[in-house]
Amino acid sequence: MTRVAVVHGPNLGRLGEREPAVYGAVTLDELNHALISWGKGHDVAVEAHQSNAEGSLIDFLEGGVGRLDGAVLNPGALAHYGLALRDCIAALPYPVVEVHLTNVFQRERFRHRLVLAPVVAGQITGMGPLGYRLALEALLERLSGGWPRLSGQNVQGEGGGRP
């Protein structure tokens, strides 16, 4: 059975309550339940983790070495300045797909800089809660070897995506 984590960063513990006009009405518990249920139907063990602290997210991801096959990560605001998280992902032996509920490129300018981009296996933004499931599907495709490398793809800066 494939084992993956869905990791939620700062402020995502308040999904459904915090700015529902921006982030939607689905709670973190509802989202996690849906993803875990989806995983069971696809022979994938999905575990969920949320923390408001960058160090805790790093500890969790590093603790997944030898236990996880991959991860889906919504780093929240750490996407814009989480350099320690970036370095952690670059050193992981498993792929990480970054997901954002909103389209960060249609929001404030400071959100346009995504420091994890060079080291994640891919990104999905602006698809709401559906983005998490799409990220899981993309991750599974990557793990099965069915995610072809596109010509011209940046290989040098692409960490966190071994096999």
Quickly state the pLDDT bin for 157 (edges 50, 70, 90).
very low
Of 67, 117, 96, the residue nearest 7 (C-alpha): 96
State the average pLDDT over residues 24-32: 88
Q: How deeply is 35 buried, as exposed, middle or buried, from its count of CB atoms within 10 A (0-12, 13-18, 19+)?
A: buried
Residue 149 lies in a domain: no
Give the 3-state secondary structure of 66-85.
CCCCEEEEECCCHHHHCHHH
> Has 100 been annotated as catalytic?
yes
Distance CA 116, CA 86 (A): 5
Helix (H, G, I), strand (E, B) or coil at 162: coil
* 23 in catalytic set: yes
Q: Of all residues in the chain, what percent carry a pLDDT higher than 70?
A: 79
**Does the structure show a pLDDT above 70 at 142?**
yes
Q: Provide CB contacts within 8 A for 91, sequence distance 6+.
A: 159
Q: How confident is the model at residue 24 (pLDDT cuts 50, 70, 90)?
A: low
Catalytic position from the list 23, 49, 94, 132:
23
Locate all alpha helices (DSSP H) within the chain, ordered by sequence.
20-23, 28-40, 54-63, 78-81, 83-91, 130-143
> Which entry of 8, 49, 100, 132 is annotated as an active-site residue?
100
Position 120 scores a pLDDT of 92
Burial class (CB in 10 A: 0-12, 13-18, 19+), 66: exposed
Q: Does any domain span residue 54?
A: yes
Half-sphere exposure of 14 (CA within 13 A, CB side): 9
Where residue 132 sits, what CATH number does that domain have?
Answer: 3.40.50.9100
Write out pLDDT tens, residues 100-141.
887 665 456 655 467 898 899 999 988 789 999 999 999 999
**Number of domain units in the chain:** 1
- Asked whether residue 59 is domain-assigned, the answer is yes
10 against 156, higher pLDDT: 10
Do the domain assignments include residue 162? no
What pLDDT does 154 receive? Answer: 45
Task: Note whether residue 44 is domain-resident.
Answer: yes
Q: Flag whether 124 is in a domain.
A: yes
> Domain of 29?
2-143
- Inside any domain, residue 160: no
**114, part of any domain:** yes
CB neighbour list of residue 45: distance below 8 Å, 6 or more residues apart: 1, 2, 3, 4, 39
How far is the C-alpha of 91 from the C-alpha of 148, rounded, in Å? 22
- For 45-96, what is each residue's pLDDT tens digit? 999 999 999 999 999 999 999 999 999 999 988 888 789 999 999 999 999 9
